[in-house]
Structure 1
Amino acid sequence: MLASTARGKSFTSEQDEAICRAYLSITEDPILSNSQRRSQFWSWVLAYKIKTNDNQISEASMKSRWQIIQKSCNKFRGCLRSIEALHQSGVTHQNIYDMAKQTYFDDTGKYFSGMDGCWAILENSIKWQDINTTENKSKNHAEPVIPNTCESPEPETTPLSGGSGSVSSPRKRPSGKKLAKRNKAKSKVEEVHNARHMDLLETLNKNMVDNQARKMELEERMVVSLERQTSCEEKKIERKDLEMEERIMGMNMEAIQDPETKAYYIHRRASILAKWSSQSSTNFFSEY
């Protein structure tokens, strides 16, 4: 009879992998993973799991399952490192991975194949490696240790990819809480600066529009003033012309001895009479 795998009957490979992804998504958040208490941690993991997966699972079940996954992956990690430490010549990465799985079976009596997906998710996570390093030094494995990003050690080597035989690149360490807060504060300062800059530009544009409007109003007033001044000048000229015409019409022609002068004023009288007659006709018809 074959030995059982590391995965329990009530959990599928997809559920195990979902738990691993949920756990890492919470622990790799630079603010959440540093500010929450241990009692709140699994609530965050459960909330993320329910949000991203249709299979709702209790906090206690997820917590218990994660402990099994972590214990199995810790054990396999040790087996893998022990095989790598032999430095055997002519051995491929896939050979090392297969020998580590055989060593795991020899030590535990269980197959590691059911955890291949979980190992592929966890092996390159700096957060999980930090947890692994810390918990190997602790005697109590009942509670996961929530690492502090600022104090977490760097991974020693790049682990082998589970089952693929290729070396995977490690993930970049997420930024710490202080850096995240500084970046957020810097972003807010930039937003305030940009807002003030926009307000200043808006004020300048408004002042320019107001100045242009005042300038146009002043020009209109000047035009009106010039028109009035011109009208006054024209009235003065008309008044002088009328006075001169009245003097000519009131002159005594018999008293003028010079024939040419007399002929000139007679001609002027005729022109004035024609003008007055024309103006009278225009005024008459304009009234009717």
Structure 2
Amino acid sequence: MWTPVEDIVLISGWLNTSKDPVVANEQRQGAFWKRIAAYFAASPKIAAGAHRSEGNCKQRWHKINDQVNKFCGAFEAATRGKTSGQNENDVLNKAHEKFFNLYGKKFLLEHAWKELRYDQKWCAVPTDKGAGSSKKRKLDDGSASESSPALDTMNVEERPPGVKAAKAKLKKKNVDLKETLSKFEGMWEIKQKDLVSKERVTTKRLLESLLAKKEALDESEVALKKKLIDELLLN
């Protein structure tokens, strides 16, 4: 059985080793857990003579990682459902209730959750039941460094469109522009024909009024009549 103090030392060892910028992603599985086990054994918080092998540390960490990740989801759901007048203890109790309803057992690693809850890898865990399933990042050199379950499942910002998507969008925009221009030209042509038709009607009526006159036409009326006849013949 692991004590809360041992769990906290193990968590500290995992965080320090996995975040080591020099060796975190360059060490093989055995070396990774060997470093954590050494960190654990060297801690002044661990009783003299206490021993946890690399395998013990690895197995315990996987359990902590899985359970805390699930509880983070339950706590987030409880936080979103917080009502006026509720304090953090009320939300925490509600999270325990949700965890029990989801997984059929009590959450017994609250001390571990308190150590990890504000770390960036656990602070944005989704609330669905499947949030507890963590995925390991497989590195080419076989490193045991794990990716955060929170990072695996959190909502990722939408990536900017690629070159093909940008070209497709531009092509669609050009097509839409051509269609709009074509519709406008069609409407303009109809309008022009309508104007020509109206002008022709006006010309015919004016010519008919000149032809209907019984008295002789003066020079200006004769010239207008000739002009109107020419226009009708040309159109």
With normalisation by structure 1, the TM-score equals: 0.41
Q: Could you say which structure has the larger radius of gyration?
A: 1
TM-score by length of 2: 0.50
